[in-house]
């Protein structure tokens, strides 16, 4: 029997390179001893990262540093690990690591009963190394020799500053990290500084360039992002493809779907459309592929062209069938559902599909199809009546699908009802970014790439942050909702804006003429003998300034050049000048009353 196989237990038996006959054991990190016979106390940590909102405004890469810390202040880092998080490429990634405790704890002169350990997670922007977020988790069950922890952290869209994130650790006088790196602390187990590198640098001290991206990496159809060899050894870079391209290296042209609206579908008040694909292959474990596109209400398009780049069809998936549903949002409360049947993209990545949405494709709610008696029944009892809707001929000619709170039901060619679970709320944002004045819609339940706000009435803005409620008389509140921010030519604005500008210009011109004539009249010496003339003279000046400020305010509003100066100073003048004129006119009335008395 060969005794070498078990001599090193969990290690590797190697011979010395100095020519002697000595043998050594190479131990994995979690074992130690001359024969790897001892296990180190360790924490097996699993981290999952989820974004709070859509990826539109996020950096391309994040650097994650996981620290095992003992003690309070000053703290000591006894183990660490680092990862690269690519939010645009990975959805809910999981990172597994082993955080090792010190072999000889007695060297720290601390009793084991007084030792408290915690896990610190630091998140940095991979392009700027700006500190983005920080999490702290105490380690439970300290007595276990092999402990486990699993945490999911929520990354906010904007950096979250915290005084605790800047807490100093023991021995933080870093000297080995490069000037471009961030020194996070000192690992006393590895006897080295912890350096957080930029995305294009690697190595223990961040001195080695990591230029894996070339001009040919993504075939000129996307943006190359350096990957993480620690997390994925085979993919040194990832490609963030342009809208019309797909594939791991953006080598395939994405299929295009052309969506048109029939004459029976009104789109004058349409705000948002979601095109949903639900795969029905038996061997598919992934969820539905979703694509969404915003329809600006002011443009009122008659058709829409979508590039299905995030449908991620490849030669293995392209043979599957997909159910196509179209969601049309008119407001935050009203949404219509349409079913466009089965679709097989085929194996050609350049195939195009034409879809026309008609009123006959509408999926109706059961509240429009059943009476109050059926609707009052429990769902399990009520669902037994769903077969009647497709069997009855008078409904079959007009009905292809219907839905309730839980199910979406289709009428097949044999007039039979086929129902399946359908969550109509899965596109609502988990965290509402719409200032509580609207409904947040996103294109994926967990990893959205885009999100939009459907504002409530009297609210507007990209996050529904502006409201016309509570205003007295503000130009922004009255006409701001109808201004197209991307249009600078007044002739191309909406009719409401053109009429408003015309009325304001007429009022301003008449007001300027009247106030100029009044100023000229009250400035003559013959009128200076009357005391109230001074009030009228200043009131005319205020009236002239009001007309000038009104024109200037309207120009900034139409040209979409609103800033703090316009919102604060000009608004103050538009409210203060007319009020001051009224007070001056009141002074004139008081003086004339006293003269009469």
Q: What is the CATH number of the domain that holds 21?
A: 2.10.25
| H or E segment and range at residue 509 | helix 495-522
Domain around 193: 52-210
Cα R_g (the chain), whole angstroms:
34
Same structural domain, 411 and 489: no
The pLDDT of residue 114: 63
For the chain, how many structural domains are there in total? 4
Same structural domain, 350 and 497: no
- In 379-468, at which residue ranges do the beta strands (DSSP E only) sit? 401-403, 407-411, 417-421, 438-442, 451-455, 459-460, 466-467
Same structural domain, 85 and 133: yes
Residues 6+ apart with CB under 8 A from 261: 267, 302, 303, 356, 357
Where does a domain end: 406, 421, 436? 421
Structure confidence by residue, pLDDT tens digits, 194-235: 898 888 888 888 888 888 888 888 888 888 888 776 666 567
Residue 446 domain flag: no
Per the CB < 8 A criterion, the answer to whether 28 and 98 are in contact is no
Residue 215 domain flag: no
Structure confidence by residue, pLDDT tens digits, 118-136: 999 999 988 888 888 899 9
Same structural domain, 501 and 580: yes
Q: Which residue has the higher pLDDT, 320 or 95?
A: 95
- pTM (whole model) above 0.75: no
Same structural domain, 74 and 163: yes
Per the CB < 8 A criterion, the answer to whether 275 and 251 are in contact is no
Same structural domain, 13 and 112: no
Over residues 406-432, the mean pLDDT reads 84
Q: What is the DSSP track for 345-391?
A: --S-TT-EEEEEE-GGGEEEEGGGTS-HHHHTS-HHHHGGGHHHHHH
Structure confidence by residue, pLDDT tens digits, 455-468: 877 677 777 777 65
Residue 428 domain flag: no
Say which DSSP state 281 is in.
-
Q: How many CB atoms lie within 10 A of CB 445?
A: 16
Percentage of the chain exceeding pLDDT 70 = 76
Over residues 26-49, the mean pLDDT reads 90
Residue 560 domain flag: yes
Asked whether residue 238 carries a pLDDT value surpassing 90, the answer given is no
Give the chain's mean pLDDT: 77
Residue 310 domain flag: yes
Same structural domain, 64 and 138: yes
Residue 46 domain flag: no
């Amino acid at each position: 029997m060969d005794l070498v196989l078990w001599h090193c237990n969990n290690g590797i038996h190697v011979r010395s390179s100095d020519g002697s006959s000595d043998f050594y054991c190479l131990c994995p990190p979690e074992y130690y001893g001359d024969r790897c016979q001892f296990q180190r106390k360790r924490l097996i940590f699993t981290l999952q990262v989820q974004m709070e909102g859509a990826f539109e405004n996020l950096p391309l890469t994040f650097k994650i540093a996981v620290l095992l810390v003992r003690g309070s202040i000053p703290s000591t880092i006894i183990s660490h690990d680092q990862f690269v998080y690519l939010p645009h490429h990975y959805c809910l990634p999981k990172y597994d690591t082993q955080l090792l405790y010190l072999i000889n704890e007695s060297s720290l002169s601390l009793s084991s009963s007084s030792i408290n350990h915690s896990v610190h997670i630091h998140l940095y922007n991979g392009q700027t190394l700006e500190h983005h977020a920080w999490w702290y988790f105490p380690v439970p069950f300290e007595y276990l020799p092999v402990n486990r922890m699993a945490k999911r952290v929520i990354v906010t869209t904007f950096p979250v500053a915290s005084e605790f994130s800047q807490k100093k650790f023991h021995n933080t006088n870093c000297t080995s990290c490069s000037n471009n790196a961030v020194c996070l602390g000192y690992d006393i187990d590895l006897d080295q500084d912890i350096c957080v590198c930029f995305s294009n640098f690697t190595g223990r001290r961040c001195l080695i360039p990591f230029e894996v991206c070339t001009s040919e990496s993504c075939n000129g159809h996307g943006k190359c992002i350096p990957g993480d060899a620690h997390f994925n050894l085979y993919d040194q870079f990832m490609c963030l493809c342009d809208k019309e391209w797909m594939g791991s290296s953006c080598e395939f042209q994405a299929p295009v779907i052309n969506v048109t609206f029939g004459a029976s579908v009104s789109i004058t008040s349409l705000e948002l459309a979601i095109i949903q694909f639900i795969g029905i292959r038996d061997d598919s474990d992934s969820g539905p592929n979703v694509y969404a596109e915003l329809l600006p209400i002011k443009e009122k398009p008659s058709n829409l062209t979508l590039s299905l780049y995030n449908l991620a069809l490849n030669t293995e998936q392209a043979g599957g069938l997909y159910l196509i549903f179209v969601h049309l949002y008119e407001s935050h409360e009203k949404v219509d559902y349409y079913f466009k049947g089965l679709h097989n993209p085929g194996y050609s990545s350049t195939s195009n599909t034409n879809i026309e949405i008609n009123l006959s494709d509408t999926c109706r709610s059961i509240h429009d199809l059943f009476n109050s008696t059926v609707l009052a029944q429990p769902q399990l009892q009520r669902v037994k009546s769903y077969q009647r809707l497709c069997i009855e001929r008078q409904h079959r000619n007009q009905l292809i699908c219907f839905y309730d709170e839980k199910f979406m039901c289709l009428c097949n060619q044999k007039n039979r009802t086929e129902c399946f679970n359908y969550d109509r709320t899965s596109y609502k944002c988990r965290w509402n970014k719409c200032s509580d004045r609207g409904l947040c819609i996103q294109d994926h339940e967990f990893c959205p790439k885009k999100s939009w706000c459907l504002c409530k009435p009297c609210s507007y803005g990209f996050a529904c942050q502006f409201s016309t409620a509570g205003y007295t008389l503000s130009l922004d509140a009255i006409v701001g909702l109808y201004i197209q921010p991307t249009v600078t030519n007044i002739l191309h604005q909406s009719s409401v804006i053109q009429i408003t500008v015309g009325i304001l210009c007429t009022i301003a011109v008449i007001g300027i003429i009247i106030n100029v004539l009044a100023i000229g009249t009250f400035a003559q010496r013959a009128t200076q003998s009357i005391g109230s003339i001074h009030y009228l003279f200043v009131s005319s000046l205020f009236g002239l300034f009001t007309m000038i400020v009104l024109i200037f305010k309207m120009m900034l509003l139409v040209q979409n050049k609103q800033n703090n100066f316009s919102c604060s100073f000009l608004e103050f003048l538009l409210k203060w000048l007319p009020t001051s004129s009224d007070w001056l006119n009141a002074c004139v009335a008081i003086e004339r009353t006293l003269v009469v008395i």
